Amino acid sequence: MELGYWLGRGVDAFQEWARTYGAFAAHSATAVDEAACAVAFEELLARLRGSYPFFHPCYAGQMLKPPHPAAVAGYVAAMLVNSNNHALDGGPATSVMEEEVVEQLAEMAGFAVHLGHLTSSGTQANLEALFVARESRPGTGVAVSVEAHYTHARMCHLLGVPVHTVPVDDRGRMDVGELERLLATGVAGTVVATTGTTALGAVDPLHRIVPLARRYGARVHADAAYGGFFRLLQTSVAPETAHALRALAQCDSVAIDPHKHGLQPYGCGAVLFGDPDVARFFRHDSPYTYFTSRRPHLGEISLECSRSGAAAAALWLTLKLLPLTPDGLGAVLAAGRRAAVRWAGLIGASPYLDPYQPPELDIVTYHPAAPGSSPPRLSWIGTASHEVLHRGMNAKEDPVFLSVARVTAGAFTARRADAVVDSDTTHVLRSVLMKPESELYLERLHERVEHLAKASWPAPPRCGR
Ligand SMILES: *Cc1c(COP(=O)(O)O)cnc(C)c1O
């Protein structure tokens, strides 16, 4: 897809449309000097070079990648109109696109009926779900696993809802036995399960959590901000993971971020509710915005007011071209998943690297292997992981960008019983392989990381003097 062409086409089409309303004079107040613009623009472009190369497969760090060209072209074409999806008055065309894409997301999640809308982020989507949870289960708290995204505790604090943390198993998934013990006390009216944790990509066993929560009358919210799109490829994940992904359909609410795995620029999350009747919790009146339609406006079912109509248009265009099917967007995720599985195999076979845990989705966690056959010391693992991270990103030639995740001594020894515990926490390396290009670049990436890990071994004693 030739981005330059489609960007130009969007600008031209906007100007053609604008002309149909007749000519009008531009005001001098917003006029800028072309020469000054050239200078400022060049400065901007130079400063943008201070970013990391998220677009390149040598960037195998955090959950970051550029949007698809279709999303960029769709966003720019719609941004020229700058519609506001809080109401049909502000975004008559893009609100309808939003309803269409939300319908597609709900279908992917397996919801037969739904109420939902796009949000500016996954955090906002989770906040709305937690708000509805508080309103439907007043006086109760929320259960989240210790691996849940940090914003749940923050949003619960904001809502005045107590948080109860549930331990995880040796793969970072919510411990269902511990959850049951908590639910039996009656303090938690809502369980937040994570479908793809941010650190490890672990999928909480929703298929076991949902029936358990039902027995205790608790709601279930799935934070599928990262992993929700993996529902498109249930056959290339472990059966246990596939069961959990299928159970998204039975949750009371789901948060899912098109700006994570949906190829969108930032500013695109989504929240879905299985019971359309929760609209009652959002009810409010606006003296000046809702006048063009008797249909509910998106602002009447969301906590945010102004929201980008362009975000809806960008997602709409992207899903026209890469629909939410195994062969559409699913093929994009499948490549990253294959890369993660294959890399875990290479890491397992390397004398210089050890796996931390097998990837459940497309996030690979690993660390430098201790020299020789000595058991890993936690302090050494943390130092060596940081060394690999820093030497990789600061390399003059062939840089490689990874990330680290902090893990507790308990979590580490749950995976490596022979580890020497000489500190309370350590760090392991973490690579989110969310770009399909990672699959084609994998051998090169592995070779670089292996080389960096080898360099963290102490130099062998020299012979002679
Ligand atoms: C990224 C993420 C969030 C937060 O979403 P934002 O869009 O960054 O606000 C919440 N939960 C999980 C599991 C995430 O991966």
pLDDT in tens, 214-242: 999 999 999 999 999 999 998 999 999 99
204 lines ligand 1 (CB under 6 A): no
Kindly state the tokens that stand for 365. 């966690």
- Alpha carbon dihedral 198, 410, 416, 205, in 10-degree steps, equals -50
Domain 329-455 coded CATH 3.90.190.10: no
Q: How many CA atoms lie within 13 A of 362 on its CB side?
A: 32
258 lines ligand 1 (CB under 6 A): no
Average model confidence (pLDDT) for the chain?
96
Kindly state the tokens that stand for 91. 């975004």
C-alpha–C-alpha distance, residues 65 and 304, integer Å: 26
121 lines ligand 1 (CB under 6 A): yes
pLDDT in tens, 309-318: 999 999 999 9
pLDDT recorded at residue 162:
98
Domain segments of the chain as ranges: 73-321, 329-455
pLDDT recorded at residue 110:
98
140 lines ligand 1 (CB under 6 A): no
Q: What is the mean pLDDT of residues 344-367?
A: 98
- Given the structure tokens 């926490």, which residue do they identify? 425
122 lines ligand 1 (CB under 6 A): yes
Residue 76: φ, ψ to 5°: -65, -45
Q: Which secondary-structure segment (H or E) carries 163?
A: strand 163-166
Whether residue 87 has pLDDT greater than 90: no
- Alpha carbon dihedral 395, 398, 399, 401, in 10-degree steps, equals -150
Domain 73-321 coded CATH 3.40.50.620: no
From 221, 223, 304, 403, give the residue whose CB has the most ligand 1 atoms within 8 Å, as the site to mutate.
223
What spacing in Å lies between the alpha carbon of 123 and ligand 1's midpoint?
6
198 lines ligand 1 (CB under 6 A): yes
Ligand 1 atom with least separation from CA of 269: 7
pLDDT band for position 289 (cuts 50, 70, 90): low
pLDDT in tens, 321-341: 999 999 999 999 999 999 999
* pTM score of the predicted model: 0.96
From 118, 146, 192, 198, give the residue whose CB has the most ligand 1 atoms within 8 Å, as the site to mutate.
198
**Which residue's alpha carbon is nearest to atom 8 within ligand 1?**
122
What spacing in Å lies between the alpha carbon of 350 and ligand 1's midpoint?
32
Q: What is the mean pLDDT of residues 430-456?
A: 97
Is there a contact between 204 and 166 (Cβ–Cβ < 8 Å)? no
SS (H, E, C) 173-185: CECHHHHHHHHHH
C-alpha–C-alpha distance, residues 66 and 322, integer Å: 16
pLDDT recorded at residue 463:
67
Whether residue 291 has pLDDT greater than 70: no
252 lines ligand 1 (CB under 6 A): no
On the 0-12 / 13-18 / 19+ scale of CB atoms within 10 A, 420 is: middle
